[in-house]
A and B are shown apart, each in its own frame.
With several copies, the nearest count.
Chain A
Amino acid sequence: MARPVDVDARIAANHRLSHAYNILEIEAPSIACQTRPGQFVMVKRALGREPLLRRPFSVFEILRDARGAVTGLSLLSKQVGAVTRELFEAQPGDRLRCLGPLGTPFTVVNRPTRAWMVAGGVGLAPFATLAEALRAREVDTTLFYGGRSGDDLYRVPFFERLGVRVILTTEDGTRGEAGRVTEPLARELDAAGGLPLTIHACGPTPMLRAVAELAARAGHPVEVSLEPIMGCGLGGCYSCVVRVLDGGARFVRACIEGPVFEGSRVSWADLT
């Protein structure tokens, strides 16, 4: 098991992708080198400063230098409030308190099983590392990636370079197929028939639920990455619970048993 470490990391770069999205590169090799796909970090600008609690973020990319040595990691952040605003406005040289890696990662399948990744908006975050792991095993990998509009779709070339088949959708039709990401997914599922296949999904809850249902109907295993509000990320506060159906409906901590869950395990009706 990975041993989480808490580092006061230097921010190496802040790429603002739009008015809402940014990618923050931070120098935290001790975390990056043990991170597995789907794991997250708990971050804060500085200890003892408002807001009080850290915020959870998926590890987006593992950063490496020219010689391939791990130098840090990046976060893909979408502004929704106080901390994500701070992350958006951060300057290179600023520090970021970063605790990780945390949580249960995705399962990385082996050939001939195929891997399909379904991302909605900022839900792309955990798939850069997953794609690398899958392609390293030469697993046939597809990314279904949906956003509101063309400007909300990022890092597509990165996935293409890895040899990932990328299927894009936008709600306004400005890029890729017009509509929801679940539409091409449904179509492809029908086409795929009985092929051995695992689905991974991250994004808005309604999308995750739809993906889980499609996968179940097609009889394929599916893993979803959930995003409950988290107070500690370490199992200490019981704030992050998700109701699961096994062992009689009960709440389990998403920071330990998740954030990645088998879709069939989640009590979707209880997810707000």
Chain B
Amino acid sequence: MGRPDLSVHVAGLRLANPLIAASGCFGYGVEYADLIDLSELGAIAVKGLFLEAREGHAPPRIVETPSGMLNAIGLQGIGVRTFVSGKLPELRARRAVVIVNICGSTVEEYAEIARILSDADGVAAIEINISCPNIDEGGHTFGCSLTGVRDVVRAVRAATTLPIFPKLTPNVTDIAATAAAAEDAGADAVSLVNTFLAMAIDVESRRPRLSNVVGGLSGPAIRPIAVRMVYECSNAVRIPIIGMGGIASARDALEFLIAGASAVQVGTANFEDPGIWPKLREGLLDYLERHGHTAVGEIVGTVDLSARETATWVSS
């Protein structure tokens, strides 16, 4: 008998394993081709793309914080058409499963990008970055209002038959409601979480440490909040959940799977250790074997609440 089966099915998509490179933390994928075999990743969520090329923010774009980092890249990107013509062919040649993370400043822009990707060869799914604030349009974020979420997801749904995964922002009061709204609007799965809006100040100069003043917090620091959000969403929707936020070890990935994620993404940890992928796979296999499982799917959403009566949702 062989080792446990790591493959998972997410919204019709078959992934060799549940480990996905998180958007914006793995470039367009091709950057890592010299270092690792891209086809061994469950999938690659490429850097967020707008319709046109974007310059992004001035440096400094990142700063480290306790067990985390802030980033304000500003979604620098080459634009979806250049991606399709310039990067997709190599990704296809390397047999990478490609999830394209898309951004828009208008609902129509999201739809337009989705149409372009539908005609492209080698796109497995679309991850809709509604969690990224609506750039320079007053800073209002689609993902922070239920109508905003519905509008974007409906428009993309109408524009493509590819699996669509809205990526939820954690900067909301009720993320389960956002997930439900995405499900209603036709999402095939939801990805969560994106980064937490945050800020760091250099006290000597009193200047913000990021040129953009605020940025997104990622890394192990946010993991407990992300796990809670995945757990809440898994109780609120029927569609699969792709969980992320501070995963840096197989143990961390397992926490998300047990909380209810069908697959997970790894972002910040890939910066520290680009060789993390085989370690994560080995750690998952070892856990499944120790616990007598034949497939990773068996542990998804298996939080054991038996030890207690009924959850009273109190934080302090």
Contacts and interface: CB of A to CB of B under 8 A. Distances in A.
Nearest to B29: A236
Given A4-B34, A237-B24, A53 B271 contact: yes
A231 B70 CA distance: 11
Contacts of A48: 248-249, 272
A235 B67 contact: no
A272 B58 CA distance: 10
Interface in A1-57: 1, 3-4, 6, 44, 47-48, 50-54
A256 interface: yes
Contact of A237 (B34, B62, B273): B62
A232 B271 contact: yes
Given A4-B34, A53-B69, A239 B59 contact: yes
A44 B274 contact: no
Contacts of B270: 232, 236
A99 B276 CA distance: 13
B136 to A, nearest CB: 17
A229 to B, nearest CB: 6
B71 A237 contact: yes
B55 A4 contact: no
A193 B214 CA distance: 50
B48 to A, nearest CB: 10
B76 interface: yes
Contacts of B68: 52
Nearest to A252: B76
B272 A237 contact: no
B31 interface: yes
Most buried by A among B27, B47, B249: B27
Nearest to A5: B35
Contacts of B64: 51-53
A153 interface: no
Interface string A49-70: 0111110000000000000000
A267 to B, nearest CB: 11
A234 B59 contact: no
B305 to A, nearest CB: 15
A242 B270 CA distance: 22
Most buried by B among A44, A51, A232, A238: A238
A142 to B, nearest CB: 32
Contacts of B47: 238
A234 B35 contact: yes
Contacts of A4: 34-35
A236 B249 contact: no
Nearest to B279: A47
A228 interface: yes
Contacts of A236: 25-27, 31-32, 270-271, 274
B60 interface: yes
Given A48-B248, A237-B73, A6 B275 contact: yes
Nearest first, the 9 A-B pairs at minimum CB distance are A235-B31, A239-B62, A232-B271, A236-B27, A239-B61, A238-B73, A235-B27, A231-B62, A231-B271
Given A236-B274, A239-B73, 20 more contacts: A6-B35, A6-B273, A47-B272, A47-B273, A52-B64, A52-B219, A53-B62, A53-B64, A231-B69, A231-B271, A232-B270, A235-B31, A236-B25, A237-B27, A237-B71, A238-B56, A238-B76, A239-B60, A240-B59, A241-B59
6 contacts: A47-B272, A47-B273, A52-B272, A229-B60, A236-B274, A240-B59
